[in-house]
Structure 1
Amino acid sequence: MDESIRAERRGLWQSVMPYLEKESLAAFFLGVSSGFPFAMIAATLTTRLAQDGIEKSTVTAFSLAFLVYNLKFLWAWVVDGVRLPLLGRLGQRVSWMLVIGLCVMAAVVNLALADPGADIVWTATSAVLVGVAGATFDIVIDAYRIETLKPYQLGTGSGMSQYGWRVGAAAAGGVALVVAARYGWQAAYIACAGFALPAMLTALILGEPPRRKVEIARKGVAEMWRSVAGPFVEFFRRNGAWLVLLFILVHKIGDTLANLTFRLLFDDLGFTNDEIALYDVGVGFWALIVGVFVGGIIYARLGLKRSVLISLILMAVSNLSFALLAAAGKTNVGMAAAIGFENFASGYGGVVVVAYFSALCDLRFTAAQYALISAGASIVGRFLTGTTAGSLIETFGYVNFYLLTTVAAVPGIVLFWWMMRSGLVDAAMGTAGEVGEGDARADP
């Protein structure tokens, strides 16, 4: 009996240990910088526009700026194949990390200087510029993370990245709310520009990723075309690739629709900036920590496939908590419970779903393929949010809207379950899930 208890403790400790390895810690800091540009044009900008008296249909239309993230696969090959002059000697990933990090900081400062009340068109243009810079930053960050992590670290490393993403987004959003309440939105945005630094410093400290593979020397027109088309040709040659892409497109529709409208709900229920900062950042932060660590442990215990299926169910159910909050009205306990459950589900899902998407990549085309996968993961939800969410809320109300987002998550759950049963999850796996220590396809 004592021996079995000791074995159980050893197994638990082995599940936690990968969180403390340098690659996983690096993934956290990369995630911090990845999350903040999104916050600047998501919840933070939504609150800013709502407080400036901009109508709901216009506010939700701003979410179309996120579609830039869904188009990033069109230029991701540049990050894989174009060597930057001068800085290129630092390495392909490191040099791009530094240059794009500076671009993100400049774009956020530019959005800070825009005035929605005076020129809504320029504000929208500035938001799109932040989206372009942030999307390109994500291309570099995702490639750097995947090539740094070993296969057995994909779960915990992806979790730490998502943990960092949420910390970066929540911290930037919280800082923006607190600073805006005292010094105005311009100062708030400028203060948040420094959140780009963690990824830049991480790249400088760790250097070029050890798993990075150079496919070819890009010199002629044929080689350039291969660098553009190669990642897509390789992916779609895999068995079940089209079904995998369908899953990527539909699995997060409900979650995306819900997440991009939370701040509208909070504002209409009468929560103050300080209350939003307290519960969204405070309660959400700790719930996310729990979700990330539980996700890492479940991933290690159950393997990739079963842990992903659980995460899809959790993310669907989390939308119901906001339907309950909308029905209950303004209540601090209700807000804390809804945000807590949503962040736990997101933290758990961030470990296992991102690990799965990372494992789908071929190490020769990491930047381009992950850009395609991550772009597809939310394009449908973001498009629907930008074109219909505001009108749906005004027509049916918040309660029915969040019930609809829950139903929208069901097709993704059913499709992944079928892919598990048919073996397509393993058949479509890329070399990022196979090369190095561990194999993401294996069940514990």
Structure 2
Amino acid sequence: MTNGNSAPRRTFLGSLRPYLEKAPLAALALGISSGFPYAMIGATLSTRLAQEGIDTRAVTAFALAILAYNLKFLWAWIVDGVRVPILHRLGQRVSWLIAAGVLVMVATVNLGLVDPQASLARTAYAAVFLGVAGATLDIVVDAYRIEILTPRQLGTGSGMSQYGWRIGSVAAGGLALFLAARIGWEAAYAACAAFALPAMLTGLLVGEPARHRDVSHKGLIDGARAAWGPLQEFFRRRGAFLVLLFILLHKIGDTLASLTFRLLFEDLGFTNDEIAIYDVGFGFGAYLAGIFVGGILYARMGMKRSVLLSLILMAVSNFSFAALAAAGHTTTGMAAAIGFENFASGIGGVVVVAYFSALCDLRFTAAQYALISAAASVVGRILTGTTAGTLIEMFGYVNFYLLTTLAACPGVILFWLMMRAGLVDSSIGTAGTEDEGDARQA
């Protein structure tokens, strides 16, 4: 009886062990710091402005501060190619972690000190300042994460980073609301600035990544040479243009669908309680489970097969919302659709991020990953903002979600063709090949 129960226990513990290694745990701390600025200029700022009585149109316009995250590739090369004065003795990555962390803390406190009722313009400038600071910290965190992880750890490390991001954004947003109701927004923002500390402390404790390849220069002019180096290196690889096409296409269907779910729930007559229970609560749990499973799948199936599986699952998840739209108001259908979509997104968020991380050259990690992550979301967001509402009005929800399912298919097919042609392997950078493990072998 004891022997019969011990095997599953060993298997479960074996699945947990990779998450408890030093580098993935560091990725968790990095994710916490990376996630909180996004919450400060997103839902938290919107809530504050609404409570201050600011016009709804002005509140929604502040979402433009988040654009900094889409534009971060414009200055990401600086993180690779320019040394931070004085702090550079700590190492290129650690010095930038400290500098970006301090910048985020200052920007967070500054946003808390401005009075939206006294000057909406100053509030906007402060929000943009935090957006740029947060995006800069994002650049450094991604580069540091990729370089402290070995190719074998890219899956579990990406999963821990996703966990951290969620913890940081949710915890900071919740803490800000809790403190604002008791001691005011200024103190609330000042307290939340401490969420930048985990990344800074991780850098000091873990130190400069052993896999980092220093290409930094002493001045901004010399460092500008790093601006075109990442692009030149990437497009020298066999199949680089097809890889870029995949990066641009793979999230179109998923992004189109995911940003319209709340509209569907409202039109189907779901109550706020039902949305809170199933979308926020149950969906969040399913997402966390998907992240955990994604790390296991990456380790056991390998990079290529786990990415292909995740793409198929994310495409099918869009179809589940077509079924919900056809079925109408049903909490069982809502739970099934939300649960499956979040579970698939959790898996995809790990294995696809791990693949994108493996694409980087260790000399240009910050610049290349910033370019890849920006390209991965830009097409879907543009289409969502310009066509999603019109398509729903023209075709209805059922046909709209069927259309998003079809929109996900080109990414699935393209990745499968890339696998067959060996282009996935030839596109992998040194981040996926140097040190323990080799992403191409899986």
- Name the TM tier (shorter chain): 0.7 to 0.9
Aligned to 1:149: 149
TM-superposed CA distance for 1:331, in Å, is: 6.8
TM-superposed CA distance for 1:371, in Å, is: 1.0
Q: Which moved more, 1:291-300 or 1:30-39?
A: 30-39
Q: For the structure 1 residues 43 and 413, does the alpha-carbon distance in structure 2 shift closer, same or farther, using more than 3 Å as the test?
A: farther
Structure 2 spans left out of the alignment, 5+ residues: none
Distance in 2, matches of 1:184 and 1:338, equals 39
Cα deviation per residue 1:268-327 (whole Å; 9 max; x = unaligned)?
86755x876665554344323321221122112211111001111222333445556667
Aligned to 1:297: 296
TM-superposed CA distance for 1:356, in Å, is: 0.3
Contact 2:290/2:343 (8 A) holds in 1: yes
Which residue identity lines up with residue 246 of structure 2 in the other structure?
F
Aligned to 2:97: 97
Q: Secondary structure at the match of 1:161?
A: helix
Contact 1:158/1:354 (8 A) holds in 2: yes
Distance in 1, matches of 2:407 and 2:173, equals 27
Aligned to 1:363: 362
Aligned to 2:38: 38
TM-superposed CA distance for 1:155, in Å, is: 1.1
Q: Secondary structure at the match of 2:228?
A: helix
Distance in 2, matches of 1:54 and 1:328, equals 37
- Whether 1:306 and 2:284 are equivalent positions in the alignment is no
Q: Secondary structure at the match of 1:438?
A: coil
Aligned to 1:82: 82
Distance in 1, matches of 2:54 and 2:399, equals 25
TM-superposed CA distance for 1:393, in Å, is: 5.9
Distance in 2, matches of 1:298 and 1:142, equals 22
TM-superposed CA distance for 1:427, in Å, is: 0.7
Aligned to 2:249: 250
TM-superposed CA distance for 1:196, in Å, is: 2.3
Q: Secondary structure at the match of 1:378?
A: helix
Q: Which moved more, 1:317-326 or 1:83-92?
A: 317-326
Q: For the structure 1 residues 176 and 263, does the alpha-carbon distance in structure 2 shift closer, same or farther, using more than 3 Å as the test?
A: farther
- Whether 1:415 and 2:402 are equivalent positions in the alignment is no
Give the aligned length.
439
Q: Which moved more, 1:28-37 or 1:424-433?
A: 28-37
TM norm structure 2: 0.83
Cα deviation per residue 1:219-251 (whole Å; 9 max; x = unaligned)?
695x53432211111111000111111111111
TM-superposed CA distance for 1:382, in Å, is: 2.4
Distance in 2, matches of 1:254 and 1:299, equals 23
Q: For the structure 1 residues 333 and 3, does the alpha-carbon distance in structure 2 shift closer, same or farther, using more than 3 Å as the test?
A: closer
What is the alpha-carbon root mean square deviation over aligned residues? 3.9
Distance in 1, matches of 2:351 and 2:20, equals 18
Which residue identity lines up with residue 152 of structure 2 in the other structure?
Y
Distance in 1, matches of 2:384 and 2:45, equals 15
Aligned to 2:135: 135
Cα deviation per residue 1:250-280 (whole Å; 9 max; x = unaligned)?
11123334444556666786755x8766655
- Whether 1:376 and 2:375 are equivalent positions in the alignment is yes
Q: For the structure 1 residues 28 and 371, does the alpha-carbon distance in structure 2 shift closer, same or farther, using more than 3 Å as the test?
A: same
Aligned to 1:424: 423
Aligned to 1:25: 25
Distance in 2, matches of 1:59 and 1:246, equals 35
Q: For the structure 1 residues 50 and 304, does the alpha-carbon distance in structure 2 shift closer, same or farther, using more than 3 Å as the test?
A: farther
Cα deviation per residue 1:319-366 (whole Å; 9 max; x = unaligned)?
445556667777766655444333322221122111101110111111
Q: Secondary structure at the match of 2:441?
A: coil
Q: Which moved more, 1:396-405 or 1:347-356?
A: 396-405
Q: For the structure 1 residues 408 and 102, does the alpha-carbon distance in structure 2 shift closer, same or farther, using more than 3 Å as the test?
A: farther
Distance in 2, matches of 1:230 and 1:359, equals 18
Q: Secondary structure at the match of 1:441?
A: helix
Which residue identity lines up with residue 422 of structure 1 in the other structure?
A
TM-superposed CA distance for 1:114, in Å, is: 6.4
Alignment of 1:247-286 (within 5 A): 247-262=246-261, 272=272, 282-286=281-285
Distance in 2, matches of 1:251 and 1:405, equals 12
Alignment of 1:88-127 (within 5 A): 88-112=88-112, 125-127=125-127
Q: For the structure 1 residues 392 and 144, does the alpha-carbon distance in structure 2 shift closer, same or farther, using more than 3 Å as the test?
A: same
Q: Secondary structure at the match of 1:436?
A: coil
Contact 1:151/1:434 (8 A) holds in 2: yes
Distance in 2, matches of 1:440 and 1:45, equals 40
Distance in 1, matches of 2:324 and 2:63, equals 23
Distance in 1, matches of 2:321 and 2:15, equals 32
Q: Which moved more, 1:373-382 or 1:171-180?
A: 171-180
Contact 2:239/2:426 (8 A) holds in 1: yes
Q: For the structure 1 residues 68 and 402, does the alpha-carbon distance in structure 2 shift closer, same or farther, using more than 3 Å as the test?
A: farther
Q: For the structure 1 residues 108 and 261, does the alpha-carbon distance in structure 2 shift closer, same or farther, using more than 3 Å as the test?
A: farther
Structure 1 spans left out of the alignment, 5+ residues: none
Distance in 2, matches of 1:262 and 1:45, equals 23
Alignment of 1:159-174 (within 5 A): 159-174=159-174
Distance in 1, matches of 2:49 and 2:322, equals 23
